[in-house]
Structure 1
């Protein structure tokens, strides 16, 4: 048992440490993994959002070109056409102005510029003929840059910020749209390094360099790509922030788990757990104390007494484990094992001495259980015994609730089992039990037997108990008889049976069979002529 407890302690200690360390390590691992995944997902989502806005801006430009081509609104740059352009520009969320371009010169626009502006050679020309100028500066609007798209003489003018303003002002992410043909930056915010472009080969890509985590995604036309990047130090900061949320939660969970393990280990190391272990591993065994017929000196039976020898050799007193088994709801399991052991032990005894009896102690729970009689019948079958071979001993506590115990006692007595009230006189309501129940035997407690032959008040109580039993027609068994003087007093008072160290200490069944044989030979009474003990 000690080795078993030590294994539980060591196992619980290791499990408790793991319960804290594993969640902590897991939280750190998940913080890093989820942090990376979140940043990666954020960068890719920004690429997608940027390209969606670029596509929307392009579609709005193309819609304006088609509208002006279908309905110019009068002569080029005339008041009517400019008014028409202003209406179309106001409806476009990603455009700031609409204008006219002739021979790479912006001749007029809804920006209200007073002079024409030469744009120069376009940055690129798409397959549909749309020409693009990137980051154009207008002298009339210092500090501002524009992207200009032109088709068939009509121009759509947009500020790069209208498309790229999906970032918060304090964002640590860099974002840009680049031309896939010459890697020219069309619009950007934050740091964009040219060496990133060299890794892009037309397919989505995610990579790390010494300083940044970079995601690049091409547009649906393939003419441009979106780049989103974050410094590795900012990625680590994101991971740290996530860890500061996850680690306490996982650590708390680990501590709760460790606490549960501790509680479980404590429970398993508790006396209740020891009892369960003893039941599971059959650590209980039986000894039997002879019951003597005082008039003849014959051994007429024995009281079955349970003993507990732990695996480390340590004995546990029944005065300790029986109350504990009752407290923890295990007493019926203990009684069931007692009955199984008695059935196994008593088979030879009953075959050789069919008139002997074995007394079994029943707890309050046993006397209240409707399964008790069925278990007794199983005992008789397994031992090859009759109901007269089994004496049920019930303590006063077991009889305290007549509404539960009476029905069970009536049932077992109707099946031929005899019932004794044990420890009579040690409780508060002994007389009421005698009036309530039909009983066969009354056992005189050792406390009263010890006082016999002395002037102690309990000595007089013993004689009162004897008179009560005689008046009710109950047979008596005196417990704890240790001297011949006690035996003589009890015999003279009319007590029929006794048990105690004067006759024999509790012994294994094999020794009991030998003891009964010896006592019969001493009494010179053949076993087959031994009268019934319960007559």
Structure 2
């Protein structure tokens, strides 16, 4: 009897262990994956926050530049009127005026105050190109308001510190903007702790904290940086409670849940095998979305997009492309897209020598010449020019800078133009544009959506456009859906657009018909 009870007890205990261990292991793995994803998302948010600090600073400098050739005399009515126009024209400027001899002289808000001898303290920092910066300068008209004040050559502007950290963020994650040369905080979002954020900056975001994730980013053009943080969503912190709960449920309920978990894990594990089978048998399809010249409406090329219908259900590319990357299938997938693209478009490409197709390439194929060799071999004898097959890579593909730089140069030397896809959503902000030679920059749809909207993120698109023009690269705006967006883009000399306003992704037969119809009715979209 005792042996029987011992055997039953052992069986129950073993059943609990066999059931609980995989579940708790899955919880732990899920927690690690969630932490990684949260950190990646936070790093992207930090990159966007840096772009905001660059934009606000750029506006301040541009405003000061507009004040440097004053008509009339010092503090004349004409000059003060010019200062007022600067305040009106620049969104982030709260006041603009003249100073000298350590005193405020005049501004639209205070008028001519030379007789009042309103003193200015020495600047907190001086840049190498002659700009003076006061971190928390009280306005002469208020004992409460403290602005960031930037001056040069006797003129100054006052900026609301919150402009540096005012990003649309439903999660309301704390942000700090920092002068990286002095390690001084310029601005804090509501709820941010100055000492905590400054410590995180000094530690490059590597803070050992069980409650918060931290991320830092630095401007490539100005001595500015940001620190952002977000709460951790940990599962394993409740490990003891979960263990007690599962043991108390017992073998029967635990066995049912274990069976469900087993079925789910089995499906997940079989998904990569199914994808590998589909790639090997060419069960995935390629569709093509037109890219048009905004000033004329002419279709100049298409982007090849992969699609997968599994048992009557469309699988999102975001899902199966990520699975391909994680399971060593991405190169086979890219080769399949290339083969199907050339098989289906070869006649069209030969008949239109200036027409092109762009193909998305993974970070793995930007570290070696493998895919370049595949394209070169595949194009031999086809009559298709190398410039008609273009390469698209996302920002995160540029993380291995040295290897990527050599491969991109090899693609371009072979005649294949290189595009940066989904620009603005990666980790590196604008910094790598100064070290990589590329041909075209594609602005992500999330920024195009904000055009003509009064949102904080709406300032990103014009900032990217201006940087692209300065670097001499062409621009494709992704996700164009409204005429007002086209008008905005044309006014800012953006050359190309892509989106449902022009055409949806389509198969090759539908594309040929669409090209024929659109060319017969071709007319300028906007003049």
TM-score by length of 1: 0.47
Larger Rg: 1
TM-score by length of 2: 0.48
